[in-house]
Amino acid sequence: MGIHPTAVIDPSAEIDPGASVGPYALIGPRTVVGPDVEIMGHAFIDKDTVIGRGSRIFPFASLGADPQDLKYKGEPTRLILGENVTIRESVTIHRATVEGRGCTEIDDDAFIMSSVHVAHNCRVGRRAILSSFAVLAGHVTIEEDVIVSGLTAIHQFVRVGRHSFVGGMSGPSKDVPPYMLLAGVRDKAAVSSPNVVGLKRRNFPPEVVDALVGAFRLLHNRRPLAQVLDEVDARWPDCQEIRTLTEFYRSSERGVYR
């Protein structure tokens, strides 16, 4: 615990007494570091960043730098990390532009592996896992309990639904439905099945998994989407996960993989 004497900390930063800051770390203006946070040597926290309780920042991570957006003109924006977030080596996460919430957010218990990039205005949900060399363009939303595999580049404004699995190098440019598995490289990407293994690991009841398998089979055909969604709702009227799935399709602005 404690602050290493070689760390450089801006006078306006607020460091909880229970946090630790390693050698040669740099913490910039208006940063707030919560209790039990560990910032390791050579980590860089630029400015206007909040780091929640128990989070760990590994060496050479860069958090809170200006967004890579030509429209950004220096307006005050933020990066917020929740509690127990893990940021591994050489990760870059940028503050937001003023569009939308004006905030880039990483929710509790997210695990961000080495060399991941999270761009401005992204939202990464609870317990999400981003594997090495995954890249999120601006305004991407990753919902809770999502796994994004390595070398995946997600197009700006894409939503990835909860409990889904995004296969490596898939490069989704449309929304990824919740509870499903996306596989295939770039323009060959498609929903190949429900994320059955992930759902079972998270203790989803067998009847819910069966319902999602049935819904996938209906959605996987090429009948008009609105007709299929109505049929799915009618077949499983009491299943909350089915409602979440069909509402996700209906609310999409970019289109959803089927």
Domain range summary for the chain, segments of one domain joined by +: 2-142, 199-251
Distances (CA, A) of 78 to 50, 55, 87, 201, 215: 8, 17, 17, 34, 39
Assess contact for 138 and 113: CB atoms under 8 A.
Answer: no
Neighbours of 71 (CB within 10 A): 10
Half-sphere exposure of 176 (CA within 13 A, CB side): 37
Q: How far apart are CA 236 and CA 176, in angstroms?
A: 21
Which pLDDT belongs to residue 186?
83
Q: In b/e form, how buried is each residue of 148-160, taking b as 16+ CB within 10 angstroms?
A: bbbebbbbeebbb
Assess contact for 179 and 219: CB atoms under 8 A.
Answer: no
Q: What is the pLDDT along the chain (258 residues), one digit of tens a residue?
A: 799 999 999 999 999 999 999 999 999 999 999 999 999 999 999 999 999 999 999 999 999 999 999 999 999 999 999 999 999 999 999 999 998 889 999 999 999 999 999 999 999 999 999 999 999 999 999 999 999 999 999 999 999 999 999 999 999 999 999 999 999 998 889 999 999 999 999 999 999 999 999 999 999 988 999 999 999 999 999 999 999 999 999 999 999 998
Which pLDDT belongs to residue 222?
85
* Pairing, β 180-183 against β 190-194: antiparallel
Q: How far apart are CA 167 and CA 181, in angstroms?
A: 7
- CATH architecture of the domain formed by 2-142: 3 Solenoid (2.160)
Pick the CATH number of 199-251 from 1.20.1180, 3.30.450, 2.40.128, 1.10.287: 1.20.1180
Q: How far apart are CA 134 and CA 173, in angstroms?
A: 14
Neighbours of 114 (CB within 10 A): 16
Which pLDDT belongs to residue 173?
96
Which pLDDT belongs to residue 132?
98
Q: How far apart are CA 36 and CA 131, in angstroms?
A: 25
Q: How far apart are CA 186 and CA 175, in angstroms?
A: 14
